[in-house]
Structures are given as C-alpha cells and as structure tokens.
C-alpha cells in the first residue's frame, strides 16, 4: 500500500459528513462546472476544506464537490479538475478520481473542453469519446502500484465503456441532442498545439485534443470503474482558425452548460 497520500484522511472526513454513498461520479471540466449547479438538496464543500485535497489553479475550475441525487441515484459531482501542466504531481492529478472510488463510485462521467481536429466538428458540439491517445509521454500509474485500486498492468482495451456510450446516445435522442463520437488525444499543455502537431495528430487518428481526461480515465479503469467521457468542442484546433484563447473556451462552455447538464441528468436517469 502507498502511504502518506492523504487519501484515507480525505475519505474519512467525507464519510463523516456524507450520509449516502454515491453510485455515480462526475468530473466537470473547463468552464463546465455550472452545468449541474441547479441540483436540489446538494451537499456542497470546497476542496480547500477537505483535509489533504489538492486545489485547482485554473480559471473555470470551481474546486468543489457536490453530493446530491439524480433520478433516485446518489451522485458525487467534482466541479473542476487538476492538470499536470499546473505543476501538480500525477498523484495530485488523479487524487479526486481515487477518492471517488473510495467513496463508492462505480460509474464515472467525465467531461472536458476540447479542440476539434476533425474538420466536421464545430464549436458547441458534444462528442462522446470512444478511445484515446496518450501524448503526454508519461503515465499516472508509473511508480509503485497501489493494490487498493487495481492490478499492476491494467487493460485499456475497453477504456470507454460501450454500454455507457449507448446510454448517452439514447439520452441524446430523448433530448434532441446530436452526439458525435471521436478519439481524444491528450497533450501536456499549457501551450496550445502547433498547426504541424495538429496535422500529425489527425494522421494518427485523433478527432479531439485537450490537456486532461486521459490520466483520469486510466486511473478510473485501473480501479475497475466504468467510464463515459463527453467532450465539448470549444474551438477548431490550431491551424484551422486564426487564434486560440482560453477566453473563447470559457465562452463556448458557458453557452453549452445547460444542454450538457440536461444530458447528464438524462444519462443518469437511464443508467
């Protein structure tokens, strides 16, 4: 067992305050934290109040946990995430995912803001991730294996659970939301990619690009959680539009929050 990682401390603190164990967990990415702000009777807490919990530094990530109920299912909503480019260690980046596992989460819905590499994708599109390419040059499981969570060599053949993607498609049909599908590639950031890099990534089979999600998915699957990932396309990737700014990402995600929130609630109702 890996010691001194603060997970047990955070777990104990939360379990003293959260009466019902969550079945479904969520990660709301850049600018998407408000998509589930309207949940009724939510127990809300700041990451900074939880012993041992690392805090985010990037605009658009609230750094809060919500415990609530959707369609009779107990949910744990992570508003914001941690990124490797912030200077965080891998242990810090994946800390919230492992904490969700310890709290009882079995199914995890991850969202992110992504650039569209596929030329048919437009800002505002919602896309379920079918697979990923880890372009970070590293792996969050590197180092001693923590036997509390999984085996030394986890299989990622089915990293993105097909049953959950089918549920998302049904939810989209019910709401009239057109969901695309695509392969997500993670780069390290914080700089955006160059046009040459985007052309190379397109050749490798990537449809979406971002600076997160992949380490969370690897960690979740290592812990035998089932994963659904949804990307909000916030811009066309480098070389496909004049310039890339974080402000544009925030503007597009803000306009998508309501649709994404409704979609997530419908997905959970169908689980």
Q: What CATH number should be reported for the domain whose range is 7-270?
A: 3.40.50.1580
CA distances from 11 to 101, 103, 200 (A): 10, 7, 42
Q: What is the dihedral of CA 59, 7, 141, 64, to 10 degrees?
A: -20
Q: Take residue 116 and report the two structure tokens written for it.
A: 């569209």
The pLDDT assigned to 60 comes to: 58
| pLDDT tens track, the chain, 271 positions | 344 468 999 999 999 999 899 999 999 987 777 778 777 778 999 999 999 998 777 665 688 999 999 999 999 999 989 999 999 999 999 999 999 999 999 999 999 999 999 999 999 999 999 999 999 999 999 999 999 899 999 999 999 999 999 999 999 999 999 999 999 999 999 999 999 999 999 999 999 999 999 999 999 999 999 999 999 999 888 888 777 787 877 887 888 888 999 999 999 999 9
Predicted pLDDT of residue 70: 92
> Where exactly are the structural domains of the chain?
7-270
Beta strands 43-46; 126-134: pairing state: unpaired
Residue with tokens 């599109």: 125
Q: Which pLDDT value is given to residue 2?
A: 42
Strands, E, within the chain: which ranges? Answer: 24-28, 43-46, 64-70, 73-79, 107-116, 126-134, 179-186, 208-210, 226-236
* CA 248 to centroid of chain Cα atoms: 20
Among all residues, which ones are annotated catalytic?
30, 61, 83, 85-86, 113, 211-212, 235, 246
């Amino acid at each position: 067992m890996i010691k001194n990682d603060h997970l047990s401390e955070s777990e104990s603190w939360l379990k003293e305050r959260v009466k019902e164990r969550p079945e479904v967990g969520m990660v709301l990415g850049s600018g998407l934290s408000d998509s589930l702000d309207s949940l009724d009777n939510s127990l809300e807490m700041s990451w900074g109040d939880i012993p041992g919990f690392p805090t985010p530094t990037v605009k658009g990530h609230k750094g809060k946990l919500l415990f609530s109920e959707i369609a009779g299912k107990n949910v744990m909503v992570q508003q914001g995430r941690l990124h490797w480019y912030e200077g965080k260690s891998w242990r810090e980046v994946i800390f919230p995912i492992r904490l969700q596992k310890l709290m009882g989460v079995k199914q995890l819905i991850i969202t992110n803001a992504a650039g569209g590499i596929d030329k048919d994708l437009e800002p505002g599109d919602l896309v379920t991730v079918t697979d990923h390419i880890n372009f970070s040059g590293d792996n969050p499981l590197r180092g001693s294996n923590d036997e509390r969570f999984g085996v030394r060599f986890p299989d990622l053949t089915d990293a993105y659970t097909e049953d959950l993607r089918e549920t998302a498609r049904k939810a989209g049909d019910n709401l009239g939301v057109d969901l695309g599908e695509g392969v997500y590639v993670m780069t390290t950031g914080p700089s955006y990619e160059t046009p040459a890099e985007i052309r190379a990534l397109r050749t490798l089979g990537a449809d979406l690009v971002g600076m997160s999600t992949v380490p969370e998915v690897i960690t979740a699957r290592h812990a035998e959680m089932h994963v659904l990932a949804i990307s909000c396309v916030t811009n066309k990737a480098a070389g496909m539009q004049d310039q890339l700014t974080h402000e544009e990402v925030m503007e597009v995600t803000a306009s998508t929050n309501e649709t994404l929130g409704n979609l997530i609630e419908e997905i959970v109702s169908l689980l």
